[in-house]
C-alpha cells in the first residue's frame, strides 16, 4: 500500500533533502522500517538504540492522530494515507477568561478611541478590553517570535508586558526581529523592545529583565504574570517554562520555528497536555540545529509569533477556542497547514497522575537537555583555533579539511579547498578520509562540526579529528577579514 511520508526540515539532511517519500507497508512500523532501510543515516535521528525504540523527541502522526493514541507501530495503514514525523523544534472547546471577572478597571476616552475596533467585536467588547488592560503577560525571548508577540500584545492593550532576554541586538537579527532597528545594534534586546512598545502604545507598562531565565528565578518571575508566551530558542528554557507554568497553574503559549516550518500550541495542564506530554525528552545535543545554524525565512516568525499573540488574547478575553490540545503546524514554503490533536500523558512527570517533578529549583535542566552531555557521556572533541590552523597550513602540513555545510550554504562563502561532505553523508563516505592525516571539520560557527566528529566516532572512524573552533566566522574575523560573516 502506497503511503506518503512527510519529512520535516530538520530530518531532511538524512533523506537527501526530500520532503515527501512514498513507501509501501501494511502498518506504521513497516513504513518507518522501510524509510530507515532506504535512508540508513536517519536511524540515528529516529532510534535510541538498535532495538528501534523511537526517540522521545519525535512523534509520528497518521493523518491527524498521534500513533501513541492508536495502536503504535502496529497501527494499520491504507493506500493514500499520510504519515508525518513531528520532531521537537512542533477541535478544542471555548475557555473562560483565565482572569475571571475583572472589577475596577475603566477605559478612558482615549483608550476607547485607541481600541475601538476591538470594542466593536461582541467577542471582545468593553469587558474583554478591560481584561486585556488588567492582564500581565511575560514574553520569554525577544528574537523572531518575541518581536511580533510584543508588538501585537502592546497594540492590543495588554496592561503589563514583561520582557526577559539577555542578548544584544545583532545585525543578522534584523532580517526577522522587526521590533529592533539598525540603530539598536549592540543594545540589550529588552531595552530596544521596550522603546518600540512605547512607540506603539505608551499606555502599556513594560517590565524588563536583562537576564537569563533559570531554575532559581523562574518561579518568582513567572508567578507575577497571568500568561507566559514562550518565544525562547533552546530546550532548557522550553522545559523550564513548561514545568514552572504547570506547577503554578499558568498557561504556556508556545511557538517554535526552523527554516520554513513553524509550530504553535497552548500548553495548559489545567485543560490539556503540557510540553512534556508531547516531548518527554529533548533531542540529543546537536542533532536538531538552531535557526542560527540552519536559517529561517524572515516572515515565518512573524506568522508564528502573531498566532501566539492571538492565543494570548483569547486566553485573556475568554470565549474563544485556544490551541489547548492542538498542535498548529505550518509549512511556509509549501503553504501547508495542519491542526493536529495532542493528548495528555497520564505518565507525564510534571502534569501526570503521579508527578515526580514538583520543584523546578531541584531539577537539572542543563543535564536533562544534554548541555553537559559532552563532558559527562562523550569523549571531548578537540578543537583548533583559526590562527593555529592557518599557521599549520602555511607550514605546509598535510591536513584534510571537511566542510559539513549544505550546498546552498557553501554558496554564501567557500572555505579554502575544503572537501564538501554534509553531515548526513559522513557515515557512508568515511572511506574518503585518510585515518593517517589530521582531519578538520568546519561549519558556520563550530557546532555542527562537533556533531560531525561525534557522528564519525559512532561509525567507528579512528583517525585524528578536530573541529574549527567558532567555525568559518572565526576564520573571517581572525584570519581573513575579506570573507563575510553570516
Residues with catalytic annotation?
291, 443
Dihedral sign, Cα of residue 61, residue 67, residue 72, residue 77 = negative
According to DSSP H, which parts of 318-429 are helical? Answer: 365-368, 373-376, 386-394, 407-410
Neighbours of 359 (CB within 10 A): 11
Helix axes 300-317, 146-156, angle to 10 degrees: 40
How long a stretch of residues is the chain?
486
For 193, what's the count of Cα atoms within 13 Å in the CB-facing half-sphere?
A: 36
Find the largest Cα–Cα distance for the chain. Answer: 79
CA dist 332 and 262 (Å) reads 8
Contact 328, 147 (CB under 8 A): no
CA dist 218 and 239 (Å) reads 11
* Nearest alpha carbon to residue 297 among 344, 266, 332: 332
Contact 375, 366 (CB under 8 A): no
Amino acid at each position: 500500500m502506497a503511503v506518503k511520508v512527510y519529512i520535516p526540515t530538520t530530518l531532511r539532511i538524512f533523506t537527501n533533502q526530500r520532503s515527501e517519500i512514498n513507501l509501501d507497508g501494511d502498518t506504521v512500523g513497516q513504513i518507518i522500517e522501510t524509510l530507515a532501510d532506504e535512508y540508513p543515516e536517519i536511524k540515528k535521528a529516529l532510534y535510541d538504540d538498535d532495538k528501534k525504540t523511537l526517540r522521545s523527541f519525535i512523534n509520528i502522526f497518521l493523518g491527524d492522530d498521534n500513533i501513541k493514541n492508536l495502536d503504535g507501530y502496529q497501527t494499520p495503514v491504507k493506500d493514500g494515507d499520510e504519515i508525518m514525523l513531528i520532531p521537537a523544534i512542533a477541535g478544542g472547546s471555548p475557555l473562560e477568561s483565565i482572569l475571571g471577572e475583572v472589577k475596577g478597571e475603566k477605559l478612558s476616552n482615549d483608550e476607547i478611541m485607541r481600541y475601538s475596533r476591538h470594542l466593536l467585536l461582541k467577542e471582545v467588547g468593553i469587558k474583554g478590553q478591560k481584561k486585556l488592560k488588567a492582564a500581565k503577560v511575560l514574553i520569554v525571548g525577544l528574537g523572531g517570535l518575541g518581536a511580533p508577540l510584543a508588538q501585537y500584545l502592546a497594540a492590543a492593550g495588554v496592561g503589563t508586558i514583561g520582557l526577559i532576554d539577555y542578548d544584544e541586538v545583532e545585525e543578522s537579527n534584523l532580517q526577522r526581529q522587526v521590533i529592533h532597528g539598525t540603530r539598536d545594534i549592540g543594545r540589550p534586546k529588552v531595552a530596544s523592545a521596550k522603546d518600540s512598545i512605547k512607540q506603539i502604545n505608551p499606555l502599556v507598562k513594560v517590565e524588563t529583565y536583562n537576564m537569563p531565565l533559570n531554575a532559581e528565578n523562574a518561579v518568582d518571575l513567572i508567578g507575577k504574570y497571568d500568561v507566559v508566551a514562550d518565544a525562547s530558542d533552546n530546550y532548557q528554557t522550553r522545559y523550564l517554562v513548561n514545568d514552572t507554568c504547570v506547577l503554578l497553574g499558568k498557561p504556556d503559549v508556545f511557538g517554535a520555528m526552523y527554516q520554513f516550518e513553524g509550530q504553535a500550541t497552548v500548553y495548559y495542564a489545567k485543560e490539556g497536555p503540557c510540553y512534556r506530554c508531547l516531548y518527554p525528552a529533548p533531542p540529543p545535543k546537536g542533532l536538531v540545529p538552531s535557526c542560527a545554524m540552519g536559517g529561517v525565512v524572515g516572515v515565518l516568525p512573524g506568522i508564528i509569533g502573531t498566532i501566539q499573540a492571538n492565543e494570548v488574547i483569547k486566553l485573556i478575553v475568554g470565549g474563544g477556542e485556544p490551541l489547548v490540545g492542538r498542535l498548529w503546524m505550518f509549512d511556509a514554503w509549501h503553504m501547508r497547514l495542519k491542526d493536529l490533536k495532542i493528548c495528555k500523558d497520564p505518565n507525564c512527570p510534571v502534569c501526570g497522575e503521579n508527578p515526580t517533578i514538583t520543584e523546578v529549583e531541584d531539577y537539572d535542566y542543563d543535564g536533562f537537555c544534554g548541555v553537559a552531555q559532552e563532558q559527562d557521556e562523550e569523549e571531548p572533541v578537540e578543537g583548533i583555533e583559526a590562527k593555529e590552523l592557518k599557521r599549520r597550513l602555511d607550514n605546509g602540513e598535510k591536513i584534510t579539511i571537511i566542510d559539513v555545510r549544505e550546498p546552498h550554504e557553501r554558496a554564501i562563502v567557500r572555505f579554502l579547498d575544503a572537501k564538501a561532505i554534509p553531515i548526513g553523508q559522513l557515515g557512508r563516505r568515511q572511506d574518503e578520509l585518510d585515518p593517517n592525516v589530521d582531519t578538520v571539520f568546519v561549519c558556520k560557527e563550530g557546532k555542527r562540526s562537533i556533531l560531525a566528529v561525534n557522528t564519525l566516532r559512532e561509525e567507528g572512524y579512528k583517525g585524528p579529528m578536530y573541529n574549527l573552533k567558532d567555525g568559518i566566522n572565526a576564520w573571517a574575523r581572525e584570519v581573513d577579514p575579506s570573507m563575510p560573516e553570516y
